[in-house]
Amino acid sequence: MLIRKNLPIDNTFQLNSVAEYGAGISSHDDYLEVLSFRKKHRVGLKVVGEGSNIIPRRSVQGLVVKMIRTGISQLEDGDDTVLVEVSAGENWNDFVFFALEKGWYGLENLVKIPGSVGAAPIQNIGAYGAEVADFIEYVLVWDADGKERTLSRDECLFGYRSSIFQRDSELTVAGVGLRLGKIPKLNISYPDVSSALSGRPESSITPEIVASKIAEIRAAKLPDPKSYPNVGSFFKNPLIDEADAERLSGIGITVFSQDSGYKISAAELIDRAGCKDLADQHVYCWPKQPLVLINKSAISSSEVSAFAERVRSIVLEKFRIHLNYEPKFFG
Ligand SMILES: Cc1cc2nc3c(=O)[nH]c(=O)nc-3n(C[C@H](O)[C@H](O)[C@H](O)COP(=O)(O)OP(=O)(O)OC[C@H]3O[C@@H](n4cnc5c(N)ncnc54)[C@H](O)[C@@H]3O)c2cc1C
CATH topology of domain 72-221: 3.30.465
Q: Report the catalytic residues.
A: 161, 233, 326
Residue 149 CA, ligand 1 centroid: distance in Å: 22
Query: What residue owns the CA closest to ligand 1's atom 2?
Result: 232
Residue 251 CA, ligand 1 centroid: distance in Å: 34
Distance CA 212, CA 221 (A): 14
292 lines ligand 1 (CB under 6 A): no
Q: Provide CB contacts within 8 A for 138, sequence distance 6+.
A: 150, 151, 152, 153, 176, 177
Reported as a single tens digit per residue, the pLDDT across 89-136 is: 999 999 999 999 999 999 999 999 999 999 999 999 999 999 999 999
Determine the pLDDT at residue 142. Answer: 98
Determine the pLDDT at residue 172. Answer: 97
Residue 49 CA, ligand 1 centroid: distance in Å: 7
Phi, psi for 33 (deg, rounded to 5): -65, -40
Whether pTM exceeds 0.95: yes
Query: What residue owns the CA closest to ligand 1's atom 8?
Result: 127
125 lines ligand 1 (CB under 6 A): yes
Determine the pLDDT at residue 169. Answer: 85
Determine the pLDDT at residue 149. Answer: 97
Reported as a single tens digit per residue, the pLDDT across 263-314 is: 999 999 999 999 999 999 999 999 999 999 999 999 999 999 999 999 999 9
CATH architecture of 4-67: 2-Layer Sandwich (3.30)
Reported as a single tens digit per residue, the pLDDT across 36-62 is: 999 999 999 999 999 999 999 999 999
Determine the pLDDT at residue 216. Answer: 97
171 DSSP assignment: P
Q: Provide CB contacts within 8 A for 309, sequence distance 6+.
A: none
Residue 162 CA, ligand 1 centroid: distance in Å: 12
3-state secondary structure of 8: strand
CATH topology of domain 239-330: 3.90.78
DSSP strand pairing (261-264 vs 255-258): antiparallel
Determine the pLDDT at residue 331. Answer: 87
Confidence check: pLDDT of 240 > 80: yes
127 lines ligand 1 (CB under 6 A): yes
DSSP H or E run through 86: strand 81-87
Q: Are 4-67 and 72-221 equal in CATH topology? A: no
Q: Which residues pair with 47 in a beta bridge?
A: 65
> Quick one: what percent of the chain has pLDDT higher than 70?
100
Phi, psi for 93 (deg, rounded to 5): -65, -40
> Quick one: what percent of the chain has pLDDT higher than 90?
96
Q: Which atom of ligand 1 is nearest to the CA of 46?
A: 47
Over residues 233-256, the mean pLDDT reads 97
Query: What residue owns the CA closest to ligand 1's atom 24?
Result: 115
Ordered by start, the domain boundaries in the chain are: 4-67, 72-221, 239-330
Residue 166 CA, ligand 1 centroid: distance in Å: 12
Q: Which atom of ligand 1 is nearest to the CA of 223?
A: 1
Confidence check: pLDDT of 153 > 90: yes
Determine the pLDDT at residue 168. Answer: 86
179 lines ligand 1 (CB under 6 A): no
Confidence check: pLDDT of 186 > 90: yes
